[in-house]
Structure 1
Amino acid sequence: MRPILFSVFGYNVQSYGLSKALAALVAAFLLARAFDRVGLKRDSAYSLVIWATVWGFVGAKIYYLFEHAPNLTLHSFGGMGFTWYGGLIGGAAATLVIVRRHRLPLGVVAGAMAIPLTVAYGIGRLGCLLAGDGTYGKPTSLPWGMTFPHGVVPTDVPVHPTPLYEALAAIVITAILWGIAKTWNPPGVFGAYLVLSGISRFLVEFLRINSPALLGLTQPQLWALASVGAGLVLIGCTRHRTAPQPVPTDTTDQRAPTQSSPRA
């Protein structure tokens, strides 16, 4: 694994940070295309991704610091140590602000965000894998077990490469969301994202080394169950609605028909 990919003029380019930057760029590209399809402005998509990313990192760091409050060190305030669900809370808050400020339809935006969020998460997890940041799993004797002797949190014992598992799961979830987005309404697509991503995180936690928080479940598993529940409610409340058609952007040559025009 390579926590530091290369150096430029003495500055180390870290795989963790680069993966997060790449994830944001890809998410912005995908969300802009999704906005195009439903007749929303690309600029709104870029603003949404920028602010959701910034406040997502802030939320992820704050959550991490509260989570590890009894054992904080100066290293805890550095460039590593972020909690995904804290990032989700911070990013969601920023998204609501941008949606309100740009007067965007929340349900349509949520549906458009489902695939970009999934792809970005998968890219970010590959960065975690390269960095060996400690999000790997328990020791394993399986042939694909990995060691991270030069990772940020090193280990010479073969462990489950859980970030890789999550990246692969993100590919599967993306394919499912892409398929159902053709017929499901946007809130339902976002509900499916909450369900599928929640199931993925709940299952992978059995292989990770997080400590139980309640009823033998880890904190991420509790958040995952909440995600699945919210997603099922969202799907149930919107299952009878159909997907909206794209808003036409070309209004040229839409004159009233003349007498010689055929009638439908």
Structure 2
Amino acid sequence: MLFTILGFDVQTYGLSKAAAALVAAWLLGRAFERRGLSKDSAHALVLWSTVWGFFGAKIYYLLEQLPSISLHDLGGMGFTWYGGLVGGTVAALVVVRRHRLPGGVVAGAVAVPLTLAYAIGRLGCLLSGDGTYGRPTDLPWGMAFPNGVVPTDVPVHPTPLYEVAAAVLIVAVLVHIGPRWAPVPVFGAYLVLSGMARFSVEFVRINDPVLAGLTQPQLWALVSVLVGGALVLSGRFAQAPGLMEKSLAAPTT
């Protein structure tokens, strides 16, 4: 808990998620305006994706706990990222359809805001010690969470911090390729890079293997990489808007 306002406890976890949504809304609003789209549509996209993302994350988490769901599981903690991804994606598709937005352009625009929002959310996981940390380690940067939501006195891999670092690198790559690639391949690159990052981090996390020695998040990560790779390959050589005009206007030698 960070502080209390009028008897209401403000938690690190919840505050980080709110900050992630606000940053994503601001960034996506600016991205939409640069593309001639409504900022209000960007805010609606973030709002409903966030709401239904949390709903999907909670439902997925509860399904994982079957058949022994407790009152603690029904409380404010306990969410699964990939359930949130499914719920948020469905909500985003509905908003795109209702606002008559160009799906490919939207996909390219959300890549950076989504990555930064994920990084901010993971910082909240780290600060709250919510149990998403990794295995015990004797490395110098190992961290203990004696007062965490899921406490541990043993130094463990600070895996949320690893994911934050990976997200920063992913943003750098996306910002570099954004003006050079078409929107859909940019989103595909996001899926590939974020999937590779999560797949790698899982090797030091505490999730149990479910298939072929891989954890459930690793299986989802492989799906992300495969889908993203297909999107990159399907449109990699399509030039982004504006590049074709520039190339045609350039003098020949």
Report SS of the residue matched to 2:144: strand
Q: Deviations over 1:140-192 (max 9, x none)?
A: 00011000000000000000000011011111100110000010000010000
1:219 maps to what in 2?
A: 216
Among 88, 96, 99, which residue is 1:99 paired with? 96
The number of residue pairs the alignment matches comes to 243
Whether 1:231 and 2:228 are equivalent positions in the alignment is yes
1:59 maps to what in 2?
A: 56
TM-score, with normalisation over the residues of structure 1? Answer: 0.91
CA-CA distance at 1:10 after TM superposition: 2.1
Q: How far apart, CA to CA, are the structure 1 residues paired with 2:47 and 2:190?
A: 21
1:100-119 counterparts in 2 under 5 A? 100-119=97-116
Q: How far apart, CA to CA, are the structure 2 residues paired with 1:242 and 1:56?
A: 32
Higher RCO, 1 vs 2 (CA within 8 Å, ≥6 residues apart): 1
2:13 maps to what in 1?
A: 16
Whether 1:72 and 2:34 are equivalent positions in the alignment is no
Among 31, 36, 53, which residue is 2:33 paired with? 36
Whether 1:196 and 2:193 are equivalent positions in the alignment is yes
Q: How far apart, CA to CA, are the structure 2 residues paired with 1:53 and 1:21?
A: 9
CA-CA distance at 1:245 after TM superposition: 3.7
**Which amino acid in 2 is paired with 1:102?**
H
Task: Give the 4+ runs in structure 1 shifted more than 4 A.
Answer: none
Whether 1:184 and 2:181 are equivalent positions in the alignment is yes
- Rg larger for: 1
Whether 1:160 and 2:157 are equivalent positions in the alignment is yes
**Which amino acid in 2 is paired with 1:129?**
L
Whether 1:89 and 2:91 are equivalent positions in the alignment is no
TM-score, with normalisation over the residues of structure 2? Answer: 0.95
Q: How far apart, CA to CA, are the structure 2 residues paired with 1:77 and 1:147?
A: 26
Structure 1 contact 133–153 (Cα < 8 Å) conserved: yes
Q: Name structure 1 gaps, 5 residues minimum.
A: 247-264
Structure 1 contact 38–245 (Cα < 8 Å) conserved: no
**Which amino acid in 2 is paired with 1:166?**
E
Q: How far apart, CA to CA, are the structure 2 residues paired with 1:11 and 1:206?
A: 38
1:49 maps to what in 2?
A: 46
Q: Deviations over 1:11-59 (max 9, x none)?
A: 1100000000000000000000110111111010000000000000000
Q: How far apart, CA to CA, are the structure 1 residues paired with 2:61 and 2:241?
A: 39
2:251 maps to what in 1?
A: none
**Which amino acid in 2 is paired with 1:244?**
P
CA-CA distance at 1:115 after TM superposition: 0.2
Report SS of the residue matched to 1:71: coil
**Which amino acid in 2 is paired with 1:18?**
L
CA-CA distance at 1:92 after TM superposition: 0.2
CA-CA distance at 1:242 after TM superposition: 1.0
CA-CA distance at 1:100 after TM superposition: 0.4
CA-CA distance at 1:70 after TM superposition: 2.7
Across the aligned residues of Structure 1 and Structure 2, the Cα RMSD in angstroms comes to 0.9
Among 139, 142, 146, which residue is 1:142 paired with? 139
Structure 1 contact 24–53 (Cα < 8 Å) conserved: yes
Matched-pair identity in %: 68
Whether 1:122 and 2:96 are equivalent positions in the alignment is no
Report SS of the residue matched to 1:79: coil
1:7 maps to what in 2?
A: 4
**Which amino acid in 2 is paired with 1:198?**
G
Whether 1:26 and 2:10 are equivalent positions in the alignment is no
